[in-house]
């Protein structure tokens, strides 16, 4: 199998709503700011021609809500949208395992999840030092592997780090 250029964007969910302190963490929805930031960031990425052919998201309501807003901006079908239970309360190694199990016919993937996991993951890319991935922050990496099962952060090239306040 030929080595191919592949793209991954790790997207931290947009700002969540904390109005109901009794609400279970996994059920916390997006806040008004999150509802605005998610499609705005998706639009920025689309303008930069960073376009997924698959979205994989944590089952948390705020992550799924963010991912759905991105799916709408990119015009992806529901079949190009996967919820993966292991992305909720995940470690960086769990996220790596999710990527390694992706369909290798998909060459550009967006993975939606949480902090501190994505900040810890960001710092596994060569030459990267990020103190915090803010809400709706995007880590953009590229890699050259024939299949996703051969992917890991250490062999990836960090392309960019984008977040809403850069564009405010």
Q: In terms of residue numbers, what domain contains 127?
A: 4-167
pTM of the model: 0.97
Strands 81-83 and 54-57: parallel
Task: Give the tokens for residue 18.
Answer: 């904390």
> To the nearest 5 percent, what fractions of the chain are helix, strand and coil?
40, 25, 40
Name the domain count of the chain.
Answer: 1
Strands 108-113 and 54-57: parallel
CATH of the domain at 49: 3.40.50.1240
Digit-by-digit pLDDT tens for the chain (168 residues) are 688 899 999 999 999 999 998 999 999 999 999 999 999 999 999 999 999 999 999 999 999 999 999 999 999 999 999 999 999 999 999 999 999 999 999 999 999 999 999 999 999 999 999 999 999 999 999 999 999 999 999 999 999 999 999 987
């Amino acid at each position: 199998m030929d080595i191919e250029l592949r793209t991954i964007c790790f997207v931290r969910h947009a700002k969540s709503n904390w109005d109901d302190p009794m609400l279970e963490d996994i059920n916390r929805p997006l806040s008004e700011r999150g509802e605005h930031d998610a499609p705005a960031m998706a639009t920025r990425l689309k303008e930069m021609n960073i376009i997924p052919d698959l979205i994989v998201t944590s089952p948390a309501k705020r992550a799924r809500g963010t991912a759905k807003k991105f799916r709408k901006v990119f015009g992806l079908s529901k079949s190009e949208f996967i919820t993966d239970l292991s992305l909720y309360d995940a470690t960086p190694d769990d996220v790596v395992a999710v990527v390694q199990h992706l369909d290798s016919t998909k060459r550009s993937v967006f993975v939606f999840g949480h902090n501190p996991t994505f900040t810890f993951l960001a710092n596994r890319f060569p030459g990267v030092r990020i103190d915090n991935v803010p809400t709706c922050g995007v880590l953009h990496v590229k890699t050259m592997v024939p299949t996703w099962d051969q992917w890991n952060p250490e062999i990836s090239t960090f392309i960019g780090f984008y977040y809403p306040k850069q564009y405010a």
